[in-house]
A and B are shown apart, each in its own frame.
Chain A
């Protein structure tokens, strides 16, 4: 196993190609759930959890159901989108049920974010990128975790800025989402500074 390569995948997903700030995936929760630090943290952890599981399961779906190793058939083009989104929806539902029974405290903290995750394009994005980049199972899981960490990092930074913005004097027309987008632009600009970190 090549730990160097895994490290590069992780750094690249967290900083260089941050899912929110460079790839524009998961903007809806990034703007919607970033008003308070606590809810941002809850959402972030829920996303990391589901992303990791989804990377694992969709990899298996892709390599054993859609395009099995025997090479007899290849349904990737026709069924990939449908199969992946259904897998994610079922997975989220399953996680919700298990969490409710086994970990009621955690469910109380994260439960309300779980249904939102199905339509978070970052999740479907991770799983599709895993296949597109030809990652093996371990690499897919590492990519899933680090994409989630990158998302959480951006979300937490945004939440802590927006908590302070509440008391700042913002021009009336920029109140709310508009100023959040300007903040996101500045944040994204500073993240472009990471782009020299990895030689492609």
Chain B
């Protein structure tokens, strides 16, 4: 039962992007297309799961005072692995995500889950939490990326949506469009949850 609750938490009721508002930098920066969004989401999920697992394993013998630097080293190690894998197997994605791959280290979701969940729970639950939060993050990113890609370049995962004669609104793939899309989607989810409460 607890597992189901953790999964629901990560994807819906505590969605890292739309509910906890964590990790907004990559959320806005890499969501110019659905493809980039999924790539970033999966990379973050990998780091999140692995760091949750390791942190929950070492929580017993890390003194409380140095736990934050210890967590940072664990996270940075897995980010370096991701950097190598991306550069080796997905050079194009690596190029378009660019600076934001090393910056996964400072993504507050990962540190936040290590501190708030993994350092208090057993390894299995920590792994489940990492997967659930990762899926929640990936879904949110893909949603934003999809909206921006459809409106901004008239494609979805690279496929044409409307006939070529339709002129896409460039605004949405430029930086102001990122803030705008995120703001409107956030208001939309606020609206849904406020309706649920009333009903």
A129 interface hit (Cβ, 8 Å): yes
CB-CB < 8 A to B24: which residues of A? Answer: 27-28, 31
Separation of A43 and B142 alpha carbons in the complex (Å): 32
- Over the window 181-200 of chain A, the binary record of Cβ atoms lying under 8 Å from chain B Cβ atoms (1 yes, 0 no) is 11011101100100000000
B194 interface hit (Cβ, 8 Å): yes
Separation of A181 and B25 alpha carbons in the complex (Å): 12
**B30 nearest in chain A by CB position:** A24
- The answer to whether B180 and A181 have CB atoms under 8 Å apart is yes
Which B residues, 148 to 178, have Cβ-Cβ distances below 8 Å to chain A? 171, 174-178
B183 interface hit (Cβ, 8 Å): yes
CB-CB < 8 A to B108: which residues of A? Answer: 28, 119
- The answer to whether A173 and B106 have CB atoms under 8 Å apart is no
CB-CB < 8 A to A124: which residues of B? Answer: 102-103, 105-106
- The answer to whether A185 and B21 have CB atoms under 8 Å apart is no
A178 interface hit (Cβ, 8 Å): yes
Which A residues, 152 to 194, have Cβ-Cβ distances below 8 Å to chain B? 171-175, 177-182, 184-186, 188-189, 192
Q: How many residue pairs at the A-B interface have CB separations less than 8 Å? A: 117
Separation of A189 and B186 alpha carbons in the complex (Å): 19
- The answer to whether A178 and B190 have CB atoms under 8 Å apart is yes
- The answer to whether B105 and A81 have CB atoms under 8 Å apart is yes
CB-CB under 8 A for A125 and B103, given A78-B80, A89-B72, A172-B194: yes
Question: What's the interface size class on A, roughly?
Answer: 35 or more
Separation of A175 and B193 alpha carbons in the complex (Å): 14
A121 interface hit (Cβ, 8 Å): yes
**B87 nearest in chain A by CB position:** A77
Separation of A178 and B84 alpha carbons in the complex (Å): 36
Separation of A155 and B124 alpha carbons in the complex (Å): 41
Cβ contact of A24, chosen from B25, B180, B187, cutoff 8 A: B25
CB-CB under 8 A for A24 and B105, given A181-B179, A182-B180: no
- The answer to whether A86 and B103 have CB atoms under 8 Å apart is no
Q: B residues near A, CB below 8 A?
A: 21-22, 24-26, 28-29, 68-69, 72-73, 76-77, 79-80, 83-84, 99, 102-103, 105-108, 111, 171, 174-180, 182-184, 186-188, 190-191, 194
Q: A residues near B, CB below 8 A?
A: 21-28, 31, 77-82, 85-86, 89, 118-121, 124-125, 128-129, 132, 171-175, 177-182, 184-186, 188-189, 192
A-B pairs, 10 with minimum CB distance? A181-B183, A24-B29, A185-B179, A185-B180, A189-B176, A82-B76, A188-B176, A178-B187, A27-B24, A173-B190
**Can you give 15 contacting A-B residue pairs, CB < 8 Å?**
A24-B175, A26-B25, A31-B24, A78-B80, A81-B80, A82-B73, A86-B72, A86-B76, A89-B68, A124-B105, A177-B186, A179-B183, A184-B179, A185-B176, A189-B176
